[in-house]
Amino acid sequence: MSTKEALAKNDASTRSAQSWKKSEKHGAGEWLAERFTSLALIPLTLWAAWGAWQIAGGGFDAALAFVRNPFNMAAIAVSIVLAVWHMYMGVKVIIDDYLQGPMRGVCIFLTFLLSVAVLFGSLGALYLVYQGA
């Protein structure tokens, strides 16, 4: 193999999408999920800030009308799923960095419980609003 070919083989831009996914266990998948959720959350967070401005000062009726809008409801649901997923991965990284032994497992489990609670609480609430609560 020439030097040129060897260089080309190591150049990230020439690697196939398949080879990007390879890692010993599941690290590459987590890496991609972190990037995917953060990329998607940039426009979603800015949209949420716009939404907060929309309903600010409008009381119950403004908030209900905003959430009942089908596009807004879908965007809220997607934002929450991605944000909870992103939160779980982020908190887990911090736990992995600073905790060892049983405390690590307990804290990751608690983070998982919190993630599930936030997910079910908010998606359940969205469903109730959708049903016409």
Partner 1 sequence: MSNTTPPRPLSPHLQIWRWHVTMLSSILHRVTGSASVAGIVLIAAWLICLALGRETYTVFLQYAASPLGLLVWFGLSLAGFVHLTGGLRHLIWDLGLSFKPKDADTLATWTMLLGVALTIAFWAVLFTSGKVAL
Separation in Å, CA 60 to CA 73, 81, 130, 131: 16, 24, 15, 17
Binding to partner 1 by residue 17, rule CB under 8 A?
no
Candidate list 26, 42, 70, 71; residue touching partner 1; CB under 8 A = 42
Nearer to partner 1 among residue 33 and residue 91 (C-beta):
91
Q: How many residues bind partner 1 (CB under 8 A)?
A: 44
Binding to partner 1 by residue 124, rule CB under 8 A?
yes
Question: Which among 1-9, 18-26, 94-102 is the span making contact with partner 1, rule CB under 8 A?
Answer: 94-102
Binding to partner 1 by residue 45, rule CB under 8 A?
yes
Residue type at 127 in one-letter notation = Y
Residues between 56 and 85 with contacts to partner 1, criterion CB under 8 A: 56-60, 63-64, 67, 76, 80, 83-84
Whether residue 73 contacts residue 65, with contact meaning beta carbons closer than 8 Å, is answered with no
Question: Which among 2-10, 18-26, 92-100 is the span making contact with partner 1, rule CB under 8 A?
Answer: 92-100
Nearest to residue 116, comparing CAs of 76, 85, 73, 71?
85
Nearer to partner 1 among residue 5 and residue 61 (C-beta):
61
Smallest distance, Å, CB 20 to partner 1? Answer: 12
